[in-house]
Amino acid sequence: MLNRRNFLKTGLMTGAAVIPTSVGLDALDPVSTLSAEGNVAPSSSVSKPKLIPLPPRLASIDQRTQSWQQKIRRVGQTNMTEHDPAVMNIEEWADYWHNAEADIVFISVTGILAFYPSKVQFHRHGKFLQGRDFFGECVAAAKKRNMRVVGRMSPDLNWGDALEAHPEWAMRHLDGSVQFSEEEPRLFKTCMFSTYMDDYVPAIMREVNSLYDVDCFYTNGWPPIGSLPNCHCAICSKLPTAGTPAYWRVFNDRVFDLWQKYDAIAKEKKPDSFFFANLGGNVRGGPNLDRLGKIAAWFQADNQGRTYDDPAVWGCTLQSRVCNAVLDGKFAANVTAAYSTGAVTWRNASKNPAEANMWLNETLAGGMVPYYHFVGAENGFGEDRRWQKVGTDYFRWTAQHDAHLATRRSIANVGVVMGQSTQLLYPGPTTMRSRAYMHETTQGIYDALLRGRFAFDFVHEDRLEPEHLSRYRALLLPNIAMLSDRQCQQIRDYVGSGGSIMASFETALYDENLNQRAGFGLADLLGINKAGDVIGTTGNAYYARIESQHPILDGFSNTNWLPGAQNRIPLKPLQNPVLTVVPGFVRYPPELAYPPAPHTDEPAVVLRELGYSRTAYFPGDIERSYWLTGHGDLLRLLHNTIRWIMHDEFIVHVQGEGFVEMLSWETTPGYSIHLLNYTNPNTHHGWLQATYPLGPQTIRMKLPPGVSVKSVELLRAGQSVPFALKKQMLQLTIPRIEDYEVAAITVS
Ligand SMILES: [Zn+2]
């Protein structure tokens, strides 16, 4: 990993960028929105991106030092139902995954229903098991075909006889009553703080280990993803209040302890076995992902498709950036449901092939391993078999390109701080108390970064040390409300050593315990002073008045006002503001829709230059307001500001039409640039039904000294393309993209 000194040597953090002074250009017009650098013509029309060289390449990997799971490239699962022992054709099942070149399959042990003749008390045999060893037969069929096996467990629910014998195992409501499954009231919810997790689950693991040759163990349904438990059993009643920072710490300790305990049990039989569990809650993942990332051998991103809460198409790549923030290159797999996920679910019906394909594309583009999943095997191997060809075709295509699709490290030069505690625990400003608040904030910055075609990573809030930050030219803090004093100091150190930051709204206004500070934790760094509490919008939102010219205003002309945001924190006046606040006023009646005070000295943005570092702070929730409105002015302002703090330094530049997500990697053969085509009427809602191909995309990047290019291959199109390499500047053009393309660059 590069440290800052290396970066300084290689010139990544140095050099004089030419920042043009503001030029009055035409306002956004429909032609320029589709023709310039990114998806909306940003300041690129006036300032040219400056390509900086890629860091020196990593040393080659000694295959012998890699764990077996790091060599896994395809994962398959037919999620077994109680009825499957009566109807599933095991040979057909095993042949399907083998023909799809799956390296490993999930087979159900469970914990709710035993798929083998378990002797563990309360491990109820499925009613169609009839004494048969269904699990054992499946394991044998998989092993015969050289596929590895994950023993899949479910510790989250159990039956009435267990409840009668162990009432302490149940999660309880506030009134003491048992929490039952909402769909199947015969099943009670088990409490993760109870002995169910200490005794029952280990007993099953040890039994399976004694009987079968499984390669690792996995639990579905625990730990919770995306939310925290709310239990009032005798144990939990003594814990801190659910949903608070103090509770989160206790919750994390328990998850961490159980995870290590289960991992040790898995290793009792084979030292290279391990335990893993679902972790895919995106930026809102339940357990602390930094802590678990350090011990997890397999990051299981249970992020199977778009949901009502997350309707944007990029849910899977967003998940990948979360994985990459905590894994240091370790193994991650993301599940693609071949069945119908969403607000209305059909567990046993195939989903649109275009949608399933895009989720698999995103998995690969994000550096994760594709994992394809269907539920049940009625009538031999499924009543609805349409999903099968989709999976086989996709998996077989990937198998031809494993070397290029396995990633080593992201080459992004923008870091976006992923405040997991803010995502989970911060309630939003007083006017808007809802956990949707941070979701909208995240989607806003994500959408803006995609449209600007920035190469960016997520950075976990607990990984702000120089070894994690030095690779980034700029760090973005989109309303990262909760930051400890230590984290604030780490950000100060980052800026002190040459980095730039952009922050917004309540960033660092709260400490790690959600206690509000008197002022911002980064007030000194950002040069800001709070003048009051959050001001929301009643009627007409506030505006930002242009006071002076600045590169962040490139492209705006013929207006004195820009839209502000929905909510803002008032700041004390500063010298020479670039934008000042025009406070919100009446929306209706229009007779009163004018500002009572046409001019104020309240800053609407604060910009600073500290040596080569630049800082930018927006007192409004600008990313979220952009997400809610799609206003092009907010997008332009975000793009201009990010480019200004970065001195316009790009590490990869992709020029062409359309709405595209770009991910860029160093690989063992060279580099891979992944482009996902989101130019589609269903990008923000509903599933993809078709693809809308894009024309030429030109990629430019500057290779490290001494690295030359042997070939550039387009993996989806299955063809080589010409390239030019001059003074280490590589340029190539992808002539056409269907839904996805990978430019695989082989170097020498
Ligand atoms: Zn409990």
How many angstroms separate the alpha carbon of residue 188 from the centre of ligand 1? 12
Classified as helix, coil or strand, 552 is helix
How many angstroms separate the alpha carbon of residue 110 from the centre of ligand 1? 21
Kindly give the parts of the chain with pLDDT less than 50: 1-46
How many angstroms separate the alpha carbon of residue 11 from the centre of ligand 1? 54
CATH of 412-650, one of 3.30.479.10, 1.10.3720.10, 3.40.50.880, 3.40.50.300: 3.40.50.880
How many angstroms separate the alpha carbon of residue 570 from the centre of ligand 1? 43
How many angstroms separate the alpha carbon of residue 183 from the centre of ligand 1? 20
How many angstroms separate the alpha carbon of residue 235 from the centre of ligand 1? 6
How many angstroms separate the alpha carbon of residue 192 from the centre of ligand 1? 7
How many angstroms separate the alpha carbon of residue 422 from the centre of ligand 1? 24
How many angstroms separate the alpha carbon of residue 173 from the centre of ligand 1? 9
How many angstroms separate the alpha carbon of residue 194 from the centre of ligand 1? 7
Structure tokens at 151: 């023993």
CA 737 to chain centre: 24
> For position 29, what pLDDT does the model report?
30
- Which residue ranges make up each domain of the chain? 66-158+196-230+244-399, 412-650, 653-747
**Residue 734 near residue 675 (C-beta atoms within 8 A):** yes
How many angstroms separate the alpha carbon of residue 365 from the centre of ligand 1? 40
Structure tokens at 223: 């730990």
How many angstroms separate the alpha carbon of residue 234 from the centre of ligand 1? 7
How many angstroms separate the alpha carbon of residue 203 from the centre of ligand 1? 21
What CATH code would you report for 653-747? 2.60.40.1180
How many angstroms separate the alpha carbon of residue 153 from the centre of ligand 1? 20
How many angstroms separate the alpha carbon of residue 190 from the centre of ligand 1? 8
How many angstroms separate the alpha carbon of residue 199 from the centre of ligand 1? 15
At 209, give phi and psi (nearest 5°): -60, -35
> For position 430, what pLDDT does the model report?
63
How many angstroms separate the alpha carbon of residue 166 from the centre of ligand 1? 13
How many angstroms separate the alpha carbon of residue 189 from the centre of ligand 1? 10
- Interatomic CA distance for residues 513 and 422, integer angstroms: 10
Residue in this structure with the two tokens 């607000």, named with its chain if needed: 343
Classified as helix, coil or strand, 137 is helix
How many angstroms separate the alpha carbon of residue 255 from the centre of ligand 1? 13
Fold match between 66-158+196-230+244-399 and 412-650? no
Structure tokens at 504: 């917004």
C-alpha closest to that of 393 among 186, 99, 27, 70? 99
How many angstroms separate the alpha carbon of residue 261 from the centre of ligand 1? 19
Query: Which residues hold their Cβ within 5 A of ligand 1, which is an ion?
Result: 191, 193, 231, 233, 236
C-alpha closest to that of 39 among 694, 733, 741? 694
**Residue 44 near residue 38 (C-beta atoms within 8 A):** yes
CA diameter of the chain: 81
pTM of the model: 0.93
How many angstroms separate the alpha carbon of residue 251 from the centre of ligand 1? 11
How many angstroms separate the alpha carbon of residue 245 from the centre of ligand 1? 17
How many angstroms separate the alpha carbon of residue 219 from the centre of ligand 1? 19
How many angstroms separate the alpha carbon of residue 527 from the centre of ligand 1? 46
Q: Confirm or reject CATH 3.20.20.80 for domain 66-158+196-230+244-399, answering yes or no.
A: yes
How many angstroms separate the alpha carbon of residue 197 from the centre of ligand 1? 11
Q: pLDDT tens-digit profile of 18-72?
A: 223 232 222 223 223 333 333 344 444 446 889 999 999 999 988 888 999 999 9
> For position 433, what pLDDT does the model report?
52
How many angstroms separate the alpha carbon of residue 170 from the centre of ligand 1? 7
Q: Quickly list DSSP for 384-411.
A: --HHHHHHHHHHHHHHTTHHHHSEEEE-
C-alpha distance from residue 714 to each of 519, 718, 734 (Å): 52, 6, 8
User: CA torsion 510→490→460→5, rounded to 10°?
Assistant: 160
How many angstroms separate the alpha carbon of residue 259 from the centre of ligand 1? 18
C-alpha closest to that of 710 among 690, 689, 732, 694? 732
How many angstroms separate the alpha carbon of residue 230 from the centre of ligand 1? 8
How many angstroms separate the alpha carbon of residue 111 from the centre of ligand 1? 19
- Interatomic CA distance for residues 223 and 248, integer angstroms: 13
CB-based burial of residue 164 (10 Å sphere; 0-12 exposed, 13-18 middle, 19+ buried)? Answer: exposed
How many angstroms separate the alpha carbon of residue 308 from the centre of ligand 1? 29
How many angstroms separate the alpha carbon of residue 168 from the centre of ligand 1? 8
How many angstroms separate the alpha carbon of residue 683 from the centre of ligand 1? 40
> For position 47, what pLDDT does the model report?
63
- Interatomic CA distance for residues 520 and 527, integer angstroms: 10
> For position 722, what pLDDT does the model report?
98
